[in-house]
Amino acid sequence: MIPTVTAHGAQIPAFGFGTFRMKGPDVRRMVPHVLKMGVRHVDTAQIYGNEADVGEGIAASGVARGDVFLTTKVWVDKYRHEAFIASVEESLRKLKTDHVDLLLLHWPNEAVPLAEQIGALNEVRRRGMTRHIGVSNFSTALMAEAAALSAAPLVTNQVEYHPYLSQRPVLAAAMELGMSLTAYYAMADGKVLGEPVLQAIAAAHGRSVAQVVLRWLVQQPGVIALSKTVSEARAAENFAIGDFSLTEAEMAAIHALARPDGRIVSPAGLAPAWD
C-alpha cells in the first residue's frame, strides 16, 4: 500500500501522477490509464497548457472525480486578486470540475505583495473552488511568511527533491508548520538512473532505480512523490512501490548522495534565495 500523507486535515496520496511537459494526446492516454491502475493523485498547472486534457482524462477514466486528489497551480502573472480568481475559474472550466483538491502558487513573485497572493488563495478556498491551498518553490523564509499571512493552513510546499538535492531545511520547516513536502523531479531529469549507489540498492531488492528513488521519497514522513511518464510500462513500475521498504542504512546512503550543485530547476526571475 502506498501511504496517504495527512497535513492540516488534507489527505494526500503519497504517489501523484505528474503531467509537466506532457502533450495533450499523451495526457488523454496516460491519465485514465494510471487512474485505472489505482493512482489517486494527479498534478497539473495552468502553465502546462494541458488542464483540459487532464479533465478529459479523469472524466474518461471511470474513476469518480471525488476519488481523485487533483492539484493545479496559478501562474505568477496571475497573482493580482482579480486575475487570480479568473485564472482559477478558467482552470476549473478546463478541468471540468467545480473544485480542485489543492491549489498552489506556482513560484514566488515579489512584484505582487505576498499578502495579496495568500488573500486570493484563501478567497478561492472560501468560495469552495479548492479544498486545500499551498505553495510551490518556496524557501523556508517564504513558507513562514506565507503561513503567517494565511487564514487557512497551507498544506504543502511542492519543490524539486531527489537524491542529488538535500531538502532537509525545507522538510524540517514543513514539519514544523504541519505542512507536507511534495517532491518533483524525482528522477533528477534522468540523472539518477545511472547512479551506482542506487543501482546497487535496486539490485539488492530486485527493483529498478526509479522504484528505489520513489520509495525513498514516500518512505520519508510527510513526503509526497510526483512522477511523470508517457509510458504505460514505466507508470506501472513507478506505482509499484508499496510492497517493499528500504532499510535505514539504505535511506541514509541515498541521502548521502546529495551535493551542493544538485539543484536543476532554478529559473532566473522566478527562483527565490534558496535555503
Ligand X SMILES: NC(=O)c1ccc[n+]([C@@H]2O[C@H](COP(=O)([O-])OP(=O)(O)OC[C@H]3O[C@@H](n4cnc5c(N)ncnc54)[C@H](OP(=O)(O)O)[C@@H]3O)[C@@H](O)[C@H]2O)c1
Question: For residues 107 and 128, is the Cβ–Cβ distance under 8 A?
Answer: no
Measured from the CB atom, the residue of 23 and 127 that comes closer to ligand X is: 23
* Closest residue to ligand X, based on beta-carbon distance: 18
| From 88-96, 163-171, 199-207, 227-235, span contacting ligand X (CB under 6 A) | 227-235
Q: Which of 48, 79, 161, 164 is catalytic?
A: 48
Instruction: By CB under 6 A, name the one of 19, 91, 109, 167 that touches ligand X.
Output: 19
Q: By CB under 6 A, tell whether 158 contacts ligand X.
A: yes
Site string for ligand X, 188-217 (x = CB under 6 A): -xx--x--------------x-x-------
Give the strand pairing for 10-13 and 4-7: antiparallel
Nearer to ligand X, 61 or 182 (CB): 182
State yes or no: is 184 an active-site residue.
no
Q: Does 109 bind ligand X (CB under 6 A)?
A: no
CB of 41 to ligand X, least distance (A): 10
Report if residue 230 touches ligand X, rule: CB under 6 A: yes
**DSSP assignment of the chain:** ---EEEETTEEEESEEEE-TT--HHHHHHHHHHHHHHT--EEE--GGGT-HHHHHHHHHHH-S-GGGSEEEEEE-GGG-SHHHHHHHHHHHHHHHTSS-EEEEEE-S--TTS-HHHHHHHHHHHHHTTSEEEEEEES--HHHHHHHHHH-SSPEEEEEEE-BTTB--HHHHHHHHHTT-EEEEE-TTGGGGGGG-HHHHHHHHHHT--HHHHHHHHHHTSTTEEEEE--S-HHHHHHHH--SS----HHHHHHHHTT--TT------TTT-----
Minimum CB distance to ligand X, residue 274 (Å)? 13
State which residue, 91 or 229, has the beta carbon closest to ligand X.
Answer: 229
Please state the closest distance from residue 231 (CB atom) to ligand X, in A: 5
- Whichever of 82 and 243 has its CB closer to ligand X, that residue is 243
Which residue of 28, 78, 228, 263 would you call a contact of ligand X, by CB under 6 A?
A: 228
* Residues at the interface with ligand X (CB under 6 A): 18-20, 43, 106, 136-137, 158, 184-187, 189-190, 193, 208, 210, 226-231, 234, 237-238, 265
Active site residues: 48
